[in-house]
Every structure is written in C-alpha cells, then in structure tokens.
C-alpha cells in the first residue's frame, strides 16, 4: 500500500508554539499517523520560536509577494516533526502570542497573516509544488486560521488534493470584512451562502466547513452538539446539510510526553503498580500552592484557561459551599482578568485551603496532574478537552460537565459503573457542580473505591493510536473517492 502524504496546516504546533490544545493535537497526531502509513508535513507560520527551532532549515520555495513582502518556505525537522515554516517577517516575526498583540487585542492584520498561511499551503499542495519530494494526497486544515486553504484549493480549479477541515472549537470563527475578498484571492462567487460569506463578513472557519471535502471535529458528542441550534453557533444549518461528510474523532494525548512513570517534571514518578508514590506529588502541589500539608484532605485542581466557556465562574459562585466540605483547591490558569482577580482574592481569603497561580506553566501542569486528587472541568461546552485525558493518565479523577468530549472520555461513577468496577470519574449536568463535588467527597471517604477508580483511570487508553487509525481510514476513503 502506498504511503499517504498529508500536508497539515496549523497556526501552532507543540512544543514550538502553543496557546492551547490545538498545538498538542498538531504536535502529536503526525507521529501517531506514521504508524498508519501516513507521511505528514506540517506547515506553520514562521514565528520567532519556530524559526529558532529550525536553525538548519533548507529554503525550498520563495513567494515574491505574500501580502506585502517576500516570503520563503523553510523545511526542517524539530521534535520528530517534518516542518515547513513560512518565513515572512512582515507577518509573523512578532513576540508573544501568535494572535494577540501586547495591548491584548487581535493583531490588526490577522486576516492577511493567516491568508498567507493558506496561500503557502496552496504553493505546497499543487502539482509540481514547493516540495520536490512531496505532493500531498490530502491537505488537512486545522481551525479557522487554516480555513482558507480548502477554499483557495476549491476555487483554484484544476487537479487538487483532497481536503479535510478539523474544527477544534466552533466559537473561534475568523471573521473579517467582506471587502477583503479580492485581496485574499477569492473570486466574486465565493461571496455566497455556500461560500465564505457569514452574516456580512468573511469567515475563515466557514470557508473550511463549507468547501472542504471532509469535516472532522474532536469528539463524537461535539459532532452532534454542533448540529443543533444551541451548540452550532450559527453554523448548525451548514453542518446539518454537510452531516454526511462530518466525523467526530476523539482526540488523544502524547502518552510519552504525559507518562507518570517517566515524567521528569514531577516530584516522584509513579505508575498504576506503584501508586503509593503519588503521595509525594500531592505534597509537592500543596507546598507549591501554599496549601496545608494534609494527605487525608481531598485536593481539587483546575488546569485551564479562565474563561466563561470553561465554566469557572460557576466554581467561584459555589466556592463557599464547596470549601465547607473540607476540600482544598489549587488553580493554575490565565484568561479573563476579572476571573483571575476573583481566584486571587479567594486564595487570600482562604489561606492554606485555596491556592492560585496565574499564568501558563507546562511544567506546573504536569506537577498538578500528578498531585491533585480530582480535576474540575465545569465547562459550558467542550469540543474535546485534553486536560481530563492527562488527568486520567495521572490518576487525578476528572469531575466534568456532561458535554462534548468530556462526556465521551469519562465514565461516570454512577451505581451501575461502580458495581461493574469501570468508573473513571464523575460527570454532572448543568447546574449540578456542587452535588458533583459532594459525590466526589463521599467517594474520597472510601479509599478502596477511590483507588479502584484511580487505577481504572490510569489504565484508560488516552493515546493517539485509535484516533490515528480513524484519520488514516478517512484519508484513504477520500483518496479512493477522488480516484487519486
């Protein structure tokens, strides 16, 4: 069987540049796909951190004018990934967050910055393209930042590869003024209900959803939710119309990066056979967050963006009754300034019981997953979620809202699951966060039951092996359909 060649197009890739779970996916999926006979080249903007990771990269193509300046495509390897970086200093050579400037607002030219990424994708994807040894069968675009790539290929005419659009979060839609249509290289007929137009704007996300050959999203439940008026965020009609090409494929995590038995970032490595060693990690977290050293106390944790989507205002609103249960709470995250301030105030008001670190810290995230007893994920909606997968791997029982991928990955400790010995955490419905934590506290008081659930969680397969197989089948089906 001939290897499948896939051009992945993404705005971030772990460990080179990361703002969220998208980077974890695009960094880990290509490595898992290799075992399925899929060769992946990942196209990414040439941010400073990306170029720094590719010091020996080779110039493989030049674009004389990429939205206001010349660009070069540089190919190299980093962290086991085959990468092509779009070196365009006028677009990407900026410090900090790849989407947002130092004033906290989106970069003024994000429309052309990510149109440039799509145009570079076309340069690689077409026959006799930028890479002499690589002509992709599939272009796989991730989220709105890559959404123009399927559209440009669709309207470009001629023979093209199959296209796949993965939506990681429907809330981020890439909306820009309609008068940019010609500048972006889109024909007048793209301004249509079955094109890129969305309520008077151009939506890069809609461009991918409407014009890619296949759509995937990151969990089966989310694939159902986004076809409803409540969860579709304006795209539900389009997604219902294209439901025959929509697939929900559950995310995984890199189980070598996230491996408690070999993790050098945590205080004491452990595994399911040496679970008693986990206690040293709990003490480490209590010390780091200024909590009382209390091995007998249920330690709850939050590792999250602090936003409305993640439902952490609901946790703050219920904090008094939750703390009355005698639990501790450690919070790591950054996001909404008002929410950050409320968590900081809670830590000051409840010293020894609540601790808070504002910011993004990958190493501390590992330490928390290894040391907390339960992870709280009260999201209002959650396409997949990766933090609960890491928690399962590390034996921190997830306490999650029954939405999206959270519902697909955690087996609720209801009576049937407990009797069958298969529970891995706790699910709860809207408005039921406090009762869920009360259930957690009751289970915590039964150490035998808690440890059984913990072992179940750690044995769950949260790797990319199964999802990679689903993607490989989807690619092969699309190639066969197109007769390539």
Per-residue pLDDT of 91-123, as tens digits, reads 999 988 999 999 989 999 999 999 999 999 999
Kindly state whether residue 415 falls inside one of the protein's structural domains: yes
Kindly state whether residue 338 falls inside one of the protein's structural domains: yes
Average pLDDT over the chain, rounded to an integer: 96
Asked if residues 185 and 371 have their Cβ atoms less than 8 Å apart, the reply is no
Q: Which two tokens stand for residue 432?
A: 């039921």
336 and 439 belong to one structural domain: yes
301 and 184 belong to one structural domain: no
What's the pLDDT score for residue 2? Answer: 75
Per-residue pLDDT of 439-480, as tens digits, reads 999 999 999 999 999 999 999 999 999 999 999 999 999 999
Question: What's the domain range around 10?
Answer: 4-252+465-482
Mean pLDDT in residue range 333-349: 97
Mean pLDDT in residue range 389-405: 98
Mean pLDDT in residue range 337-341: 97
Q: How far separated are the first and last CA of the chain, in Å rounded?
A: 13
389 and 472 belong to one structural domain: no
234 and 310 belong to one structural domain: no
SS3 310: coil
Q: What share of the chain is helix, strand, coil (3-state, %, to 5)?
A: 40, 20, 40
Kindly state whether residue 390 falls inside one of the protein's structural domains: yes
Asked if residues 150 and 209 have their Cβ atoms less than 8 Å apart, the reply is no
477 and 441 belong to one structural domain: no
Is the pLDDT reported for residue 224 higher than 90?
A: yes
Split into its structural domains, the chain has a count of 2
Is the pLDDT reported for residue 127 higher than 90?
A: no
Asked if residues 173 and 206 have their Cβ atoms less than 8 Å apart, the reply is yes
288 and 240 belong to one structural domain: no
What's the pLDDT score for residue 484? Answer: 60
Kindly state whether residue 128 falls inside one of the protein's structural domains: yes
Asked if residues 197 and 172 have their Cβ atoms less than 8 Å apart, the reply is no
Residue position matching structure tokens 């001939």:
2
CATH of the domain at 452: 3.40.50.2000
The residue among 350, 378, 342, 380 whose CA lies nearest residue 169 is 380
Per-residue pLDDT of 34-93, as tens digits, reads 999 999 999 999 999 999 999 999 999 999 999 999 999 999 999 999 999 999 999 999
106 and 80 belong to one structural domain: yes
Give residue 300's pLDDT band: very low, low, confident or very high (50, 70, 90): very high
Q: How far is CA 231 from CA 235, 237, 238, 270, in A?
A: 9, 11, 13, 39
The span from the CA of 292 to the CA of 298, in Å, is 12
Is the pLDDT reported for residue 407 higher than 70?
A: yes
SS3 65: coil
SS3 197: strand
The span from the CA of 183 to the CA of 93, in Å, is 22
What's the pLDDT score for residue 1? Answer: 60
What's the pLDDT score for residue 296? Answer: 98
368 and 282 belong to one structural domain: yes
Residues written for the chain: 484
Kindly state whether residue 8 falls inside one of the protein's structural domains: yes
The span from the CA of 155 to the CA of 244, in Å, is 22
323 and 472 belong to one structural domain: no
246 and 339 belong to one structural domain: no
Dihedral (CA of 175, 177, 181, 184) sign:
negative
Q: Which two tokens stand for residue 11?
A: 């705005």
Question: 4-9 and 38-45 as β-strands: parallel, antiparallel, unpaired?
Answer: parallel
469 and 450 belong to one structural domain: no
Kindly state whether residue 175 falls inside one of the protein's structural domains: yes
What's the pLDDT score for residue 277? Answer: 96
Mean pLDDT in residue range 26-36: 97
Kindly state whether residue 263 falls inside one of the protein's structural domains: no
Kindly state whether residue 261 falls inside one of the protein's structural domains: no
206 and 59 belong to one structural domain: yes
């Amino acid at each position: 069987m001939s290897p499948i060649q896939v051009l992945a197009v993404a705005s971030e890739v772990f460990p080179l540049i990361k703002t969220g779970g998208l980077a974890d996916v695009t960094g880990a999926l290509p490595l898992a796909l290799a075992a399925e006979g899929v060769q992946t080249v990942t196209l990414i903007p040439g941010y400073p951190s990306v170029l720094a990771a590719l010091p020996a990269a080779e110039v493989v193509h030049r674009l004389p004018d990429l939205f206001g300046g010349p660009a070069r495509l540089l190919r190299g390897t980093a962290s086991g990934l085959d990468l092509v970086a779009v070196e365009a200093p006028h677009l990407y050579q900026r410090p900090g967050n790849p989407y947002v400037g130092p004033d906290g607002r989106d970069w003024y030219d994000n429309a052309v910055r990510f149109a440039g990424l799509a145009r570079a994708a076309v340069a690689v994807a077409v026959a006799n393209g930028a890479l002499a040894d690589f002509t992709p069968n599939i272009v796989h675009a991730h989220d709105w930042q890559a959404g123009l790539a399927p559209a440009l290929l669709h309207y470009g005419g001629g023979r093209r590869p199959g296209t796949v659009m993965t939506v990681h979060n429907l809330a981020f839609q890439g909306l820009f003024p309609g008068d940019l249509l010609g500048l972006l290289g889109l024909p007048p007929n793209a301004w249509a209900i079955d094109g890129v137009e969305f309520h008077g704007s151009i939506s890069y996300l809609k461009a991918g959803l409407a014009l890619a050959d296949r759509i995937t999203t990151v969990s089966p439940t989310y694939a159902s939710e986004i076809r409803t008026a409540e969860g579709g965020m304006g795209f539900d009609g389009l997604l219902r119309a294209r439901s025959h090409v929509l697939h929900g494929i559950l995310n995984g995590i890199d189980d070598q990066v996230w491996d408690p038995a070999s993790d050098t970032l945590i205080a004491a490595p452990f595994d399911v056979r040496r679970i008693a060693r986990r206690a040293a990690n709990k003490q480490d977290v209590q010390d780091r967050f200024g909590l009382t050293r209390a091995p007998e106390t249920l330690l709850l944790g939050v590792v999250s963006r602090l936003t409305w989507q993640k439902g952490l205002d609901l946790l703050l609103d219920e904090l008094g009754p939750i703390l009355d249960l005698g639990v501790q709470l450690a919070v790591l995250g950054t996001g909404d300034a008002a929410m950050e301030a409320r968590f900081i105030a809670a830590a000051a008001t409840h010293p020894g019981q609540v601790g808070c670190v504002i910011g993004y810290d990958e190493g501390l995230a590992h330490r928390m997953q290894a040391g907390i007893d339960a992870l709280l994920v009260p999201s209002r909606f959650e396409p997949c979620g990766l933090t609960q997968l890491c928690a399962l791997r590390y034996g921190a029982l997830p306490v999650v809202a029954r939405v999206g991928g959270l519902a697909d990955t955690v087996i609720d400790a209801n009576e049937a699951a407990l009797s069958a010995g298969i529970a891995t955490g706790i699910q709860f419905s809207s408005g039921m966060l406090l009762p869920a934590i009360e259930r957690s506290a009751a289970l915590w008081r039964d150490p035998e039951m808690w440890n059984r659930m913990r072992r179940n969680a750690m044995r769950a397969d949260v790797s990319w092996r199964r999802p990679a197989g689903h993607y490989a089948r989807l690619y092969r089906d699309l190639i066969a359909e197109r007769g390539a």
